[in-house]
Amino acid sequence: MQSTRPWYTVLYVQVLIGIVLGVLFGWLLPDLAKNEWTEFLGKAFVKLIKMAIAPIIFCTIVSGISHIQEAKSVGRVGVKALVYFELVSTLALIIGLAVGSIWQPGANFPVKELSASELAQVACYKDAAQKTTPVEYILHIIPDSVIGAFVSSPDPGLCKPGAPTIFPIGDILQVLFFAVLFGFALMKLGERGHALRGLIDDGAHAMFAIIAMIMKVAPIGAFGAMAFTIGKFGPSALGNLLNLILTFYVTSALFVFICLGAIARVAGFSIVQFVRYIKDELLIVLGTSSSESALPSLMEKLERLGCSKQVVGLVVPTGYSFNLDGTNIYMTLATLFIAQALHVDLSWGQMLTILVVAMLTSKGASGVTGAGFVVLAGTLASADVRLLPGLAIVFGIDKFMSEVRALTNIAGNGVATIVVSWWEGELDRDKLKQGLARQIDPADVELAETTG
């Protein structure tokens, strides 16, 4: 008989309490909530998670590739994943365009004024978007050195005049690139690479153990992040932009429960049960506005849900850079919002340009708050230069938009992993049914491994 844990020891309950307390603290004591030490709580938690992301992605991809006997199996899984990513991402882009065209949230919108510092930061985003070429974008995926792939690049959310103009896609793609090469090299070593494969597997387990320790302080991080946000922007921060925010929230929810729900139904599981299963990760993302904070525990849960280790190791990290459904919805919806607010009529050709450019520029725009805003600048610059001043319109609310982008992205990647596992014939149906039928907390990972 399964013992019932006290409700206050469940991680998602603790995170939810932290979010609620953070909102109340920021609302009732805004001056104190804007203190740098309050902001420190949220930023410190995200940084703790981020420090483990690169080695976890490297170890899981290398392990996933090297343990597959044939290179064609890796290629087959990769091709299936990319086909799925592109189809669903394109659907997300089209949905964003359709909702923006029909609902027209930017009609009769009064443009808000920004402070001098905010205008300077927006100008920097515009400059980075206009100066970056496709060649630079692709070359940035190849690291200057192996160590360089694991070294953090400038935070897109901290764009400063004089900073590198290269489009800030982060280092995840660089780690992916090197990990794939290393995995294939280790596969070719055969038995000679057995010891090294074991070392990498043990390293991955050690990193997940570190994540399990870090997750203990997730409620504190969520409290600090929410308190600072509400204290800085205020409850009325949504203001005249509430229409756009609500439109984006509703569109993202419909995408998850209808579009992803239909895909899940074809694959033989319920999207509602899956969302309930990953509720801890979703609440952590909501509190921190960073999908990186939940990536390791999501991968752990997907393996316990019946997805093969190889598929999880390949699809989740790849989807983290190539399957950004929330970002895609935001890109097209926000672009149309800005065009409507600035009274710029877009032609069908420009609409197609938005689709193509958004599909390309969204790759790698995950994890860091502000990355979505940067790729939006690139989309606007390619569609119509008259739209670039509109960055100032959505600048103040990007924080609120980034949370839903991250939530939709992580839900989409979870569904993608199950679907690809099912497509590849490597999904354990019994584990899937058992996992979705019960609620498992990330804190139970060690217990599940011990008793399972």
Q: Which residues contact 420 (CB under 8 A, 6 or more apart)?
A: 77, 80, 81, 84, 311, 315
- Taking the chain (452 residues) in consecutive chunks of 10 residues, what is each chunk's mean pLDDT? 65 81 88 86 80 79 71 75 90 91 78 60 63 67 79 50 40 76 86 88 84 84 82 62 83 95 95 93 78 81 90 83 84 88 80 77 52 66 72 67 85 94 91 80 44 40
Compute the distance between CA of residue 354 and CA of residue 73 in angstroms, rounded to an integer. Answer: 35
Q: Which residues contact 51 (CB under 8 A, 6 or more apart)?
A: none
Q: At what angle do helices 218-233 and 11-28 cross, to 10 degrees?
A: 20
Count the helix, strand and coil residues of the chain and give each as a percent rounded to the nearest 5. Answer: 80, 0, 20
Residue that the structure tokens 């160590």 belong to:
147
Dihedral sign for Cα atoms in the order 93, 326, 136, 76: negative
3-state SS assignment for residue 108? coil
Give me the half-sphere count of Cα atoms (radius 13 Å) on the Cβ side of residue 387.
Answer: 28
Compute the distance between CA of residue 39 and CA of residue 33 in angstroms, rounded to an integer. Answer: 8
Compute the distance between CA of residue 435 and CA of residue 425 in angstroms, rounded to an integer. Answer: 18
Q: Which residues contact 146 (CB under 8 A, 6 or more apart)?
A: 178
Compute the distance between CA of residue 59 and CA of residue 202 in angstroms, rounded to an integer. Answer: 9
Compute the distance between CA of residue 354 and CA of residue 97 in angstroms, rounded to an integer. Answer: 9
Q: What is the pLDDT of residue 446?
A: 43
Overall pTM surpassing 0.75 (yes/no): no
CA distances from 379 to 93, 261, 354, 417 (A): 12, 29, 6, 28
CB 346 within 8 A of CB 384: yes
Q: What is the pLDDT of residue 329?
A: 92
DSSP 307: B
CB 56 within 8 A of CB 208: yes
CB 413 within 8 A of CB 421: no
First to last CA, the chain: 15
DSSP 29: -
CB count within 10 Å of CB 106 equals 26
Compute the distance between CA of residue 422 and CA of residue 428 in angstroms, rounded to an integer. Answer: 8
Nearest to 54 by CA among 164, 179, 143: 179
CA distances from 314 to 175, 196, 428 (A): 13, 19, 17
Q: What is the pLDDT of residue 342?
A: 78
In sequence order, what are the beta bridge partners of 307?
A: 427
**Domains annotated on the chain, with CATH:** 7-451 (1.10.3860.10)
Q: Which amino acid is at 23?
A: V
Residue that the structure tokens 């990760």 belong to:
281
Compute the distance between CA of residue 336 and CA of residue 331 in angstroms, rounded to an integer. Answer: 9
HEC readout, 257-303: HHHHHHHHHHHCCCHHHHHHHCHHHHHHHHHHCCHHHHHHHHHHHHH
